[in-house]
Structure 1
Amino acid sequence: FNSMILAIPIALFVRSFVLDDFVVSTHAVKPEVPQGSYVLVWKLRAPLSPGDLVVFSDPEYPHRTGRVKGANSEGYEIERSGGEEVLLIPAQKITGKVISVLWRASRGE
């Protein structure tokens, strides 16, 4: 019982600040990660490189996915839908880097 009392706050801390899982809600990063897939996201700040998959927030959607295209002094250029959409996202709006696909949805549309 004592270990459970300790485990719950640790799990909440990890989920809030270190790792979290998200559902990919659009086709923005297909075919690598189809819509409906579950991804594991590292939330601690780390340098991002072109090609990294990230989860970020914007005013319309709390959790969007995209691929880092580049960076500048204003933030990161995030590419979605194979380059059809490129957004400039401030670093503080990046939720984290996708480090694993926990479950890959069917590639069907």
Structure 2
Amino acid sequence: MPTSAEKPRNFFQDVYDVVRLVPPGRVTSYGAVAHYLGAKNGARMVGWAMMAAHTETDVPAHRVLNRQGLLTGRQHYSTPTAMQKALEAEGVRVVDDQVQDFSQLFWDPSIELG
């Protein structure tokens, strides 16, 4: 049981902690974050966390994509192109809502964080 100084962990906070570690110019997937957190089939929950990330201003949710490198979360941004613009500002090339060179830019927390 957590002490009064410790806050209980929740899945969204764990997701935010991992996503904060994705370096600028790199991308990851909902499934990779879920797998790292031990929620093998939790990609959808990671997506829900990213939709709610607007309450956590320091979470770079734009770096989390679907497993094919598509910007499936773009409709949850202030404009339809905001996610793409955020990625392009970090040097990530996006064509037709898909990150180019996705496999080279992919950041897998299971590998990177061990």
Same fold, TM exceeding 0.5?
no
The structure with the greater share of residues assigned to helix is: 2
Higher Cα Rg, which structure: 1
Q: TM-score, normalised by structure 1?
A: 0.28
